[in-house]
Structure 1
Amino acid sequence: MKHIKNLKISKICSITGMGSLSSLGISDEEIINNLHSEKTFIKKIFTGDKQVWAAPLALEAQEYIFSFLSRSSKYKCLDPSVLLSMLAAEKALKQARWGAQKPIGINIGSSRGATHAFESHFSYFSKDLEGKAQILSSPTTTLGNIAYWTGQHLQSTGMAFSHSITCSSALHALLNAVVWLHSGFCEKFIAGGAEAPLTPFTIAQMQALRIYSKKEGPYPCRAGDLKKSGNSFVLGEGAAVFALEKGVKKNALALIENIGFATETLQSHTSISEEGENLQKSMKMALSHSSAEEVDAIVTHTPGTLKGDFAEYRAIQAVFGNSPLLITNNKWKTGHTLGASGALSLEMAVRMLKEDIFIPLPFYGAKTYRKKMRKILVNATGFGGNAVSILLSKNL
């Protein structure tokens, strides 16, 4: 507990539960095994008449959703992004063992929102001879329905809201959770991100940016590989949600020790500066009460693009210099889950802290190995020049 004594305890939050669904699976056992595996879970799928790389939900997760819908027919009209959020939050709540509680704050971030529902309803509208829309087209395509249906499913009467700050949406939800908890407006908070973007239009949007992977071989997405010769962005779907409480709790899976955030002046509609100025600022803010030498690892945002990956590595070099730290990410396994990606990165970091393991990038022949972990930094960036960094520490 020595490192905890030096902190401003009033600013710490405990992660007391977490739940996720992604290409890695849904059960803890399957997720851990797949994180340890050296294989990717990216595969070729059909979108319209085209075949592209993507990271769809694991079969176990798909079957879980199907079983859930067979028992809860009222949810069948909801977009997959909403279902992912609901089930991930349900799992987090169960692990936290909150039971019947006072109102819970809920914030679920998503970059694109209800993509499946929107594209389906718009297709119907565009083909209808009278230009009519289906009756549920409005309530099932709003971004806000991700959070309020999650609240309904958890039977919470507290504040529930959604937002989009593109690919950093999930970590912005964690920022909001920390502020809400320390404001005194709520005692418990559910935060995370959900995304189901494997739709024809969303994939076409990414391809239009000329970043989508056309690589063959064992690793179509080479996120974090500085030796790659071209862009290797691949979309994935999933959600990760966390149960948060103020202060240090005995049952905490990990502690949110500090947070950082920043924006920078846009140089284009999508890019960050070559030196990753926004990430430099957010990482320095997250490290305001810690030294760079205390950080054991970084789970990077690195989307698999040349510009994005190199900018983040330059930012890390500027902040950490020659400090001995390990760098990794999970997008080579899960693809880029847009607004949910930061939450899945955070889940990976929590598991590394709990197990004292490091899950490296596979491109250079490295394998998962035991490493004493005390602090891990998690980064996320998004369109608009924004960045978020969250410093996690082990609950000793």
Structure 2
Amino acid sequence: MIKPISITAIGSVSPLGDSLDEVWSNYKKDSHFFRKKEFESGEEWIAGLSQKSLEEIEALKQSDSKYKNLDNTVLFALLAARKAMKMAHWKAGDNFGINMGSSRGATALFEKYHKEYITENKASTLSSPTTTLGNISSWIAHDLQTQGPEISHSITCSTALHALLNGVAWIQSGLVNKFMVGGSEAPLTPFTLAQIKALKIYSNSVEDYPCQALNLEKKRNTMILGEGASVACLENGNSKNALATIEGIGYATEILKHNISISSDAVCFQRSMKMALAGTNPDDVDVIVMHAPGTIKGDISEFKAIEKVFCNETPSLTTNKWKVGHTFGASGALSLEFAVLMLVNQEFIGVPFIESTKPSKIKKIIVNAVGFGGNAVSILLSK
């Protein structure tokens, strides 16, 4: 158990929109947000930002000469952080901490600069400072005028929830009272797509729902890449304006047999969920927002872990990857946003192509994330 920490604001930009009202409205629709995009290898499914959001990003990019050379990973994070700060009523000088992460970082810029180097045998002046992972939190601190601390990191696809772990730890230590945490990812690039396709896990489905996340009967992998960022504002104690309260945190890493695999019953998830539940009756959990990337092994192993932890009282299960794809380092933060919105609105959003039991109430939700390396994180939220 940890001392209560409040989530007082969430800001995001994703295929679902860039305001909580718009995001919630789109969650209530049974439609997905995928479209086909032309790459060198042909047309592929992706979940990209809306034209409205892209225009907002472009306006941000042009608003300051220093922002014109930043990668979308940083720009997405800046926009989401501004929205979160405004909602939380934080101000410059509050000296809150920042921990924003990304699985891949400035991949579009890196690919651009590397191509220039191969072609011209020289590197651009800004190729180093604009592709370092520390860019994300540092630029947010600059933009919001806070004094720190600032942390950027990559822990593959559990990056955003690891940022939340860090924020909780800093607040619990008494060093700060507020921390901004989250993840940002802009992976819709040719090389990133080629890497994921090489793993044989990308969707080539022609079905109505091309990502079959949480369909445990699927016969092929159906992961699809998405982009976006999400930021949560954490404050010490039970805040009157809290959207949700963090009641428990859990984390675990398991010994791997392969670079990208986890055990068939996701031992890391079993351990992280049990840790997050410390002092809480598992029967009191109403919903689990699963990582469920849409791969055969990934979805089933997490489900088996849930069965082992919750036995015959499995909570209602859901995921958002059938709708917005896998946003890598940002995915845990977008799942957190999803969970908070269900708590706030007291409405369960399931997966339309599978049968799911709706909970009679929504008081406690677990959010899961895991990445390459078997590094799982579980967060227990309550309203």
Q: TM-score range by the shorter chain?
A: over 0.9
Q: Is the 8 A contact 2:102 2:153 kept in 1?
A: yes
TM-aligned CA deviation for residue 371 of structure 1: 5.1
| Unpaired stretches in structure 2, ≥5 consecutive residues | none
Find the aligned partners of 1:185 and 1:296 in 2 and give their Cα distance: 33
Find the aligned partners of 2:179 and 2:96 in 1 and give their Cα distance: 5
Normalising by structure 2, report the TM-score. Answer: 0.97
TM-aligned CA deviation for residue 28 of structure 1: 2.3
Other-structure match for 1:228: 218
From 246, 252, 258, the counterpart of 1:262: 252
Other-structure match for 2:44: 52
Trace 1:290-301 onto structure 2 (pairs within 5 A). Answer: 290-301=280-291
Other-structure match for 2:65: 73
Other-structure match for 1:136: 126
Q: What is the RMSD of the two structures over their aligned residues, measured on CA atoms?
A: 1.4
TM-aligned CA deviation for residue 50 of structure 1: 1.9
TM-aligned CA deviation for residue 101 of structure 1: 3.7
TM-aligned CA deviation for residue 333 of structure 1: 0.7
Other-structure match for 2:108: 116
Other-structure match for 2:372: 383
Other-structure match for 1:22: 14
Find the aligned partners of 1:100 and 1:331 in 2 and give their Cα distance: 35
Find the aligned partners of 1:199 and 1:324 in 2 and give their Cα distance: 38
Aligned residues: 383
| Unpaired stretches in structure 1, ≥5 consecutive residues | 1-7
Find the aligned partners of 1:226 and 1:49 in 2 and give their Cα distance: 29
Find the aligned partners of 1:194 and 1:68 in 2 and give their Cα distance: 16
Normalising by structure 1, report the TM-score. Answer: 0.94
From 164, 170, 183, the counterpart of 1:193: 183
Q: Which amino acid aligns with 1:272?
A: I
Other-structure match for 1:374: 363
Moved over 4 A (4+): none
- 1:106-156 Cα distance to aligned partner (Å, 9 max, x none): 00111000011100111111100xx11000000000011011011111111
TM-aligned CA deviation for residue 185 of structure 1: 1.4
Deviates more, 1:222-231 or 1:309-318: 222-231
Other-structure match for 2:337: 347
Residue 89 (structure 1) aligned with residue 78 (structure 2):
no
TM-aligned CA deviation for residue 240 of structure 1: 0.5
Q: Is the 8 A contact 1:298 1:328 kept in 2?
A: yes
Matched residue SS, 1:181: helix
Other-structure match for 2:229: 239
Deviates more, 1:251-260 or 1:28-37: 28-37
Find the aligned partners of 1:236 and 1:371 in 2 and give their Cα distance: 32
Other-structure match for 1:102: 94
Matched residue SS, 2:104: coil
Matched residue SS, 1:382: coil
Q: Is the 8 A contact 1:111 1:195 kept in 2?
A: yes
Find the aligned partners of 1:45 and 1:59 in 2 and give their Cα distance: 14
- Shift in alpha-carbon separation, 1:282–1:366, aligned structure 2, 3 A: closer
TM-aligned CA deviation for residue 157 of structure 1: 1.0
- 1:218-251 Cα distance to aligned partner (Å, 9 max, x none): 1111111112111001110011001111111001
Q: Which amino acid aligns with 2:111?
A: E
TM-aligned CA deviation for residue 47 of structure 1: 2.2
Find the aligned partners of 1:102 and 1:341 in 2 and give their Cα distance: 28
Deviates more, 1:298-307 or 1:39-48: 39-48
TM-aligned CA deviation for residue 370 of structure 1: 8.6
Other-structure match for 2:136: 146
Find the aligned partners of 1:326 and 1:98 in 2 and give their Cα distance: 35
Q: Is the 8 A contact 2:48 2:226 kept in 1?
A: yes
Find the aligned partners of 1:127 and 1:56 in 2 and give their Cα distance: 29
TM-aligned CA deviation for residue 70 of structure 1: 2.9
Find the aligned partners of 2:314 and 2:208 in 1 and give their Cα distance: 29
Q: How many percent of aligned residue pairs carry the same amino acid?
A: 53
Q: Which amino acid aligns with 1:25?
A: G
- 1:331-369 Cα distance to aligned partner (Å, 9 max, x none): 0111000000000000000000000000001113779x7
TM-aligned CA deviation for residue 73 of structure 1: 3.1
Q: Which amino acid aligns with 2:327?
A: T
TM-aligned CA deviation for residue 48 of structure 1: 2.9
- Shift in alpha-carbon separation, 1:279–1:49, aligned structure 2, 3 A: closer
TM-aligned CA deviation for residue 159 of structure 1: 1.1
Matched residue SS, 2:370: strand
Q: Is the 8 A contact 1:121 1:134 kept in 2?
A: yes
Find the aligned partners of 1:101 and 1:155 in 2 and give their Cα distance: 7
Other-structure match for 1:3: none
Find the aligned partners of 2:275 and 2:322 in 1 and give their Cα distance: 28
Q: Is the 8 A contact 2:60 2:75 kept in 1?
A: no
Q: Is the 8 A contact 1:25 1:59 kept in 2?
A: no
Q: Which amino acid aligns with 1:125?
A: Y
Q: Is the 8 A contact 1:224 1:302 kept in 2?
A: yes
Q: Which amino acid aligns with 1:30?
A: E
Q: Which amino acid aligns with 1:344?
A: L
